[in-house]
């Protein structure tokens, strides 16, 4: 994990890891909830003064807002997602991140791969996420199928994205499900 890297290991080796992880999670969720430049500057200013994240005004409240939004999405997933074998599919709406939704599909439904997609003018943006021990390379599959369906794609083994014309969404989803399930 992140704490075993060449920079983090010597620093975190002398800290209570759980405390550091809790503080990092608060920041992660707060910054997910409020992406405004003003809030980011506020957080950076307070961190530069060596203030603990949980003591920075607004961080805890915004972290809770983020967690509540994630919970709302998790509660909506069973009624809105399709599970086909090892894969769950769901269209993202509003400001919801397709990558975040794909991760929540895995978490909520216990599948190996979560695929979410969102319309953007003439295209669909798709995010694929895989569970920790996934054998398939989602980045390679995304690159290949993105080109095949007149778009583009790529990424890592367990996290990738594809952008395809709207008219190709059903075909690429069918092929993704077929490839991952066999």
Model confidence, pTM: 0.86
What pLDDT does 91 receive?
97
Residue 114 has pLDDT above 60, yes or no: yes
**Residue 75 falls within a domain, yes or no?**
no
**Residue 12 pLDDT level (bands cut at 50, 70, 90):** confident
| Strands 87-91 and 123-130, sheet pairing | unpaired
- Token pair belonging to 112: 């190996």
Domain that holds residue 115: 82-181
**Residue 112 falls within a domain, yes or no?**
yes
Q: Verify that 56 and 88 share a domain, yes or no.
A: no
What pLDDT does 113 receive?
98
**Residue 154 falls within a domain, yes or no?**
yes
**Residue 26 pLDDT level (bands cut at 50, 70, 90):** very high
Question: Residue 89's domain is classified under what CATH number?
Answer: 3.10.310.40
Least Cα distance to 172 among 87, 54, 105 occurs for 87
Q: Verify that 108 and 168 share a domain, yes or no.
A: yes
Q: Verify that 44 and 130 share a domain, yes or no.
A: no
**Residue 110 falls within a domain, yes or no?**
yes
Residue 168 has pLDDT above 80, yes or no: yes
- Tens of pLDDT, residue by residue over 68-98, are 999 999 999 999 999 999 999 999 998 888 9
Q: Verify that 101 and 29 share a domain, yes or no.
A: no
HSE (CB half, 13 Å, CA atoms) of 113?
30
Residue 1 has pLDDT above 60, yes or no: no
Report the distance separating Cα 66 and Cα 34, nearest Å.
9
Report the distance separating Cα 147 and Cα 123, nearest Å.
14
Domain count, the chain: 2
Q: Verify that 125 and 99 share a domain, yes or no.
A: yes
Rounded mean pLDDT of 52-75? 97
What mean pLDDT is reported for the chain? 95
Rounded mean pLDDT of 13-18? 88
What pLDDT does 15 receive?
86
Q: Verify that 151 and 117 share a domain, yes or no.
A: yes
What pLDDT does 14 receive?
86
Report the distance separating Cα 116 and Cα 101, nearest Å.
6
Q: Verify that 86 and 170 share a domain, yes or no.
A: yes
Q: Verify that 114 and 173 share a domain, yes or no.
A: yes
Q: Verify that 102 and 175 share a domain, yes or no.
A: yes
């Amino acid at each position: 994990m992140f704490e075993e890297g060449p920079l983090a290991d010597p620093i975190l080796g002398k800290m209570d890891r759980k405390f550091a992880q809790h503080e990092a999670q608060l920041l992660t969720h707060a910054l997910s909830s409020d992406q405004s430049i003003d809030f980011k500057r506020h957080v950076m200013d307070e961190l530069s003064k060596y203030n603990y994240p949980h003591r920075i005004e607004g961080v805890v409240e915004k972290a809770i807002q983020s967690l509540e939004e994630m919970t709302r999405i998790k509660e909506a997933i069973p009624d809105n997602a399709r599970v086909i074998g090892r894969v769950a599919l769901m269209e993202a709406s509003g400001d919801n991140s397709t990558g975040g939704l794909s991760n929540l599909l895995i978490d909520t439904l216990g599948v190996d791969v979560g695929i979410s997609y969102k319309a953007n003018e003439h295209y669909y943006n798709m995010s694929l996420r895989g569970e920790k021990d996934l054998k398939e390379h989602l980045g390679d599959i995304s690159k290949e199928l993105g080109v095949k369906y007149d778009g583009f794609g790529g990424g890592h083994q367990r996290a990738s994205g594809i952008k395809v014309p709207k008219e190709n969404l059903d075909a690429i989803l069918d092929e993704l499900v077929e490839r991952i399930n066999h």
